[in-house]
Amino acid sequence: MLHLYTNATLDALISKREGETKFGEKVKTLFSQENLVAQLTKSKVKYVLFGIPEDIGILANRGKAGATTAWKAGLSALLNTQDNAFNKGKRVLILGHLDFSELLETAETFNPKAADYYKKLSTLVAKIDEEVSYLMFQIVSAGKIPIIIGGGHNNAYGNIKGTSLGKSKAINVVNFDAHTDFRSLEGRHSGNGFSYAFKQSFLDKYFMFGLHENYTSKKIFKTIHNQPERIQYNTFESIKIRQEQGFEFQLNRTLDFINDRPFGVEIDCDSIENVPSSAMTPSGFSANKARTFASFFGKQKNATYLHLCEAAPNPDDANELYRIGKLLSYLITDFMRK
Ligand SMILES: N=CN[C@@H](CCC(=O)O)C(=O)O
C-alpha cells in the first residue's frame, strides 16, 4: 500500500534555517492518491521519489536483514541539502513509501528452521513485486522518471516490469553491483530479480558493472557467456585491481551496449566500499566512483529510473544513519543534475 507524504510529513524532517532554502522546502507532494497517473502527468516535475523499506527479499536470499532503514535516512539527508542553481527541489515530487509492514510482520512469524521457510518468504516477495511493478507502471505512464530507495535488490524485478509495461516494450538495465543477481528461478528473492525479468522478457539487454570475481558462480558465468548479444559485464578486479580497463572507458562501453532503448539504472550499495549492507565489503568502488556512475547515466536521454538498494544503516547508530543518508542523497542529486 502506498503511504502518501504531504508537506507536513516532510516539514518534520527538514531543519530550516533563516536566509537559506533547503531542497525539501521546494520539492512537490500530492494531497491524495486519487487519479495518481493524471495528477503526476499534470505535475511539472521530472522525477518522482519513493521508498521501499523492506528486507524480505534479502532474507529469502539467505542474507542479513536491515535494508528497511535506508529510505528514511536517505530522504532526510536529501531534504536537508541546499536548494540552489545546482540542486533544484522543484524538479522532484516526493510520493511517499510502499508500506509493507504487514508483510514484514508476517515474515517474522515464519520459523527459519522450517523446511519451507525460504519458499514462504518468496511468496511474500512476489506480493511486493506486484505493488512495486504497479507503482512503477503508474509513474512511468505519467512520463516521469522514478527514483527508488530500497529495500532489497529483489525490487529490480518490479522496477523493470513496471517500467517495461509503462513504456510498452522491454527495457535495458545497467547494474552497478558486486553480484549478478541472475540466480536460478527458484522463487523470488534479492538474488534473482534480473533473471526473472529477463526470462519474462521485460528485460532486453543487461550490463553488470563491477562484478566481484569471487562472488559469481561458474554456472552463472556460463549462462552469461552464452548470450553476449544480450548480457555483458565487467569486473571490479579488472578495473580497480589489475587496472586492465579504465572506469571512464567502461562507462562509455556500457552506454554503447544499453543505449538502443530506455534503460534503468541500478546501484547496489554493497558494491561501494564499507557501506553497511547484507553483503558489506571492505574492498569495492569508492563513494565518488558510484557518484560518477550516477551522474554519467543520469545525464542520458534514455535513463528511465534510478534504484538505490541494499544499504542497511544501523538504526541505533546516528552517525551511520547520517553517513549513509548523505551517500544516498549525493547519488540522487548527481543523477538528477543537468
Ligand atoms: N542482492 C544481492 N545478492 C547477492 C548478495 C547476497 C547477500 O546478501 O549476501 C547474491 O545473491 O549473491
* Mean pLDDT, range 282-293, rounded to an integer: 98
CB of 195 shorter than 6 A to ligand 1 = no
CATH code assigned to 2-336: 3.40.800.10
Phi-psi category of residue 181: left, alpha or beta, with phi > 0 → left and psi -120 to 50 → alpha: left
d(CA 181, CA 207): 12
The amino acid occupying position 55 is: D
Q: Is the pLDDT of residue 35 over 90?
A: yes
Which atom of ligand 1 is nearest the CA belonging to 192?
11
Which atom of ligand 1 is nearest the CA belonging to 191?
11
* Mean pLDDT, range 214-219, rounded to an integer: 97
CB of 278 shorter than 6 A to ligand 1 = yes
CA of 170 to the centre of ligand 1 (A): 25
pLDDT band at 168 (very low <50, low <70, confident <90, very high): very high
CB of 279 shorter than 6 A to ligand 1 = yes
CA of 14 to the centre of ligand 1 (A): 34
d(CA 182, CA 50): 25
Q: What is the pLDDT of residue 338?
A: 82
Model's pTM, two decimal places?
0.98
> Tell me: the pLDDT tens digits for 327-337?
999 999 999 99
* Mean pLDDT, range 234-244, rounded to an integer: 98
Choosing from 55, 121, 190, 272 the residue with most ligand 1 atoms within 8 A of its CB, the one to mutate for a pocket test is: 190
Contacts of 231 (CB under 8 A, 6+ apart): 182, 198, 205, 206, 207, 208, 223, 224
d(CA 177, CA 235): 9
Q: What is the pLDDT of residue 18?
A: 97
Q: Is the pLDDT of residue 318 over 90?
A: yes
Question: Which residue is associated with the grid cell 546516528?
Answer: 318
> Tell me: the pLDDT tens digits for 114-162?
999 999 999 999 999 999 999 999 999 999 999 999 999 999 999 999 9
> Tell me: the pLDDT tens digits for 69-109?
999 999 999 999 999 999 999 999 999 999 999 999 999 99
Q: What is the pLDDT of residue 236?
A: 98
The average confidence (pLDDT) of the chain is 98
Looking at the predicted complex, does its ipTM rise above 0.90? yes
Any idea where the domains of the chain sit in the sequence?
2-336
Q: What is the pLDDT of residue 324?
A: 98
CB of 58 shorter than 6 A to ligand 1 = yes
* Residue identifier of the C-alpha nearest atom 9 of ligand 1: 279
Q: What is the pLDDT of residue 151?
A: 97
pLDDT band at 300 (very low <50, low <70, confident <90, very high): very high
Give the H/E segment covering residue 232. strand 231-235
> Which three cell numbers, joined as nine digits, stand for 52?
521501499
